[in-house]
Each structure stands twice: as structure tokens, then as C-alpha cells.
Amino acid sequence: MASIPSSSRFIEYTLLGFLNERPMHGYDIYRELHQPDGIGVVWRITRSQLYALLVKLEEQGYVTVSLEPQENRPTRRIFHLTQAGSAAFASWVAAPVERPRDIRLEFLIKLYFARREGAEAVFQLVRAQRMRCLEWLTNYSARAEACRATCPFEWLVWQFRIGQVEAQLKWLERCIPRPDDEATASTV
């Protein structure tokens, strides 16, 4: 089975995430993607892109399709997550992102689905991401120190990246569910 390519993986995993909750037809997924209090705040996708990705996921064995006849309308295609699709989604949603720039889109999508799973899933995801951020911070600090005296511009670049990771760590603290947030997190 082919793996989901890295360039668009979070979009495809997003589709798997909705199908992980229940079988859906394409337009239901499209509506979910454009909810203003959900993923629609993070990014948008066109219907043609959505349907092309669903076909691709079907070809890769992550989803299957059943047909639902409708009176006076075309037959509706209902997408179902396969066991491989479910396993791929579960693995993806629990793992931290690999690069700081991926927090802006991919991590937010993971956080969205983790919140739908509950406080424990959010806690585990945030904990894993914080650990990754601390690794980045250690690496960036060492690189900044190594060039401090010889490459002042490079040192400034590393200082900028350090500042970004520090801000991400601070923001991740806000993502950790509190006991009074549990009811809210499970409904979002």
C-alpha cells in the first residue's frame, strides 16, 4: 500500500479523520471542512480538490465506497474508512509534527481531531509536541552559540527561530486541557 505523500498528507489525513468518526458522502465532508468553528478557520479546500483526494485515498486502500441510490438524484457515493485508513489516521494524529513551521497547519489539524477524541488525546499530543519543541530549542541554541562570534547574521536567524519555538511552547501550554475545559473539549 502506498503511503500518503508528505506535501499534502495533512489534508488527506484530515479526510481520514472525518471518516474515522463515521462514513460520509463527499458533500458532508466538504461541509465539515468549512465549519467556521473548526478546520475552516485553519485552511480551505475546493470541492474538486476534495473529490480528487477521496479518489486517491480509495486507490491507496484507505477508504472504500458504497453506493446509495437516491430518488430523482444521482446515486450518492458514501466513503468508509478501511482498517488501513483507520490505522494510518491513528498513527498520524498521535505523532508530533517534525518541523516548527508545521505547527501552523498540520498540528492545528491534529489538535482539532484530538479535541474530538477527548482530553487524554489532547494531553498526549501536546506532551509529545512539547518534547519535540524542546529538542528543536536545544538544537537551535547550540547552533546559535556555535556561530555567535563568527557569523552575526546567522546568529540572528537562529535567535529568530529560537524565539518562534519559545512562542510555540508557550502556546502549547494553553492547549493542555484543564478539568473545567473537559466538557468544552469533548463537544468541540
- Spatial CA neighbour of 26 closest among 82, 67, 81, 78: 78
**What local confidence, expressed as pLDDT, does residue 118 receive?**
93
Prediction pTM value: 0.86
Give the class (CATH, top level) of 7-67+74-94. Answer: mainly alpha
- pLDDT score for 60: 95
C-alpha 39/C-alpha 142 separation (Å) is 36
Round to whole Å and give the CA distance between 73 and 118: 38
In 57-153, the DSSP E strands lie at 63-70, 73-81
- Contacts of 34-39 with CB under 8 Å at 24 or more apart are 37/188, 38/112, 38/188, 39/14, 39/109, 39/112
pLDDT at 185: 46
Measured from the Cβ of residue 149, the count of other Cβ atoms closer than 10 Å reads: 8
pLDDT recorded at residue 182: 52
The ranges of the chain with pLDDT < 70 are 1-8, 180-188
Residues 6+ apart with CB under 8 A from 162: 137, 140, 141, 144
pLDDT of residue 178: 76
